[in-house]
Amino acid sequence: MDENYQTYLNRAIRMILPETYQSQVQHIQESPKFRRQAEHHYDAVPFPGYSIVTPPGSDETDNLELYKSLADLQQQLLQKLGRQSFIPVPADSFHVTLADLIWNDAFRDANQSPDYESKLRSTIANSFQECHALRRGQPIRFQVLGLLLMTRAIGVCLAPTDEDSYDRILKVRRALYQNHELMGLGIEQQYYFTPHVTLGYFGEIPPADARQSFSQTFTDLNQQWLEKEPQDFWVRRAELRKFDDMTRYYREPDWAVFEF
């Protein structure tokens, strides 16, 4: 299901163009993953599940400088869009999802089965074992391309710097999504691989005629980012992590890890 390297690069470049922002702002929606509790204050709603992710900001060592830059960008978005429209996630939750697994209602339903979570964790560990030939003892280098506008969220888009690195990640994804035991646990691939770091989600959406200013904000901030020195994101580990909502991703010491 995933694209080849050049097809992904072409798609990623299109996602950070001004004309894409102009089109996308007409389709943005308030995120159901947060609920307004008071004026300009949102709380995360329960949204449980599992994913394969890079170590989040709280446990990161390789990407601390980049995460500081992304936290600054997050604050600029907050100032430009306003607290009523932009809901930032905690900087210590910043990560890249390498493979979505199961979440929300699908997870709740599957988790009715006895020992579901322990079966999921052991099957992921077995899949990672089957990927031992992909271990090179060196991290994969991504480059931050620019600001990414999604229907319900804002992030930054990344791309591996060479085809071999991209293919190594796709092979790990295939080992997961083509694992028949995982399929039996309700896990299937639903999205193309689009590596990104989510900065926050949309709250209140302004009327359509007011969204043009949003588009210009994204264009201006993206241009500022592009004028900087290129910033790298290093992928050293893929970890199985659980989440209860979109603000924290955690694991136990014995949960599955794949070292690139």
Burial code of 191-202, b = ≥16 C-beta within 10 A, e = fewer?
Answer: eebbbbbbbbbb
* Average pLDDT for the chain: 95
Q: What is the DSSP string of 138-168?
A: SPEEEEEEEEEE-SSEEEEEEEESSHHHHHH
Q: What is the pLDDT of residue 210?
A: 81
Tens digits of residue pLDDT in 98-120: 999 999 999 999 999 999 999 99
Q: What is the pLDDT at residue 198?
A: 98
Q: What is the mean pLDDT of residues 28-50?
A: 93
CA 231 – CA 160 distance, rounded (Å): 12
**How many residues are recorded in the chain?**
260
pLDDT in tens, 126-164: 999 999 888 988 899 999 999 999 999 999 999 999 999
Q: Is the pLDDT of residue 44 over 80?
A: yes
CA distances for 37 relative to 32, 56, 88, 91, angstroms: 13, 26, 15, 21
In the CATH hierarchy, which fold is given to the domain comprising 5-259? Cyclic Phosphodiesterase; Chain: A, (3.90.1140)
Q: What angle do the packed helices 64-81 and 212-226 form, to 10 degrees?
A: 150
The C-alpha atoms of residue 28 and residue 201 are separated, in whole angstroms, by 10
d(Cα 3, Cα 7) in Å, to the nearest integer? 6
Task: Give the pLDDT score at 68.
Answer: 95
pLDDT exceeds cutoff 90 at 221: yes
Cα–Cα distance, 144 to 182 (Å, whole number)? 31
Q: How far apart are CA 99 and CA 194, in angstroms?
A: 10
pLDDT at 38 over 80: no
Show me where the domains of the chain are located.
5-259
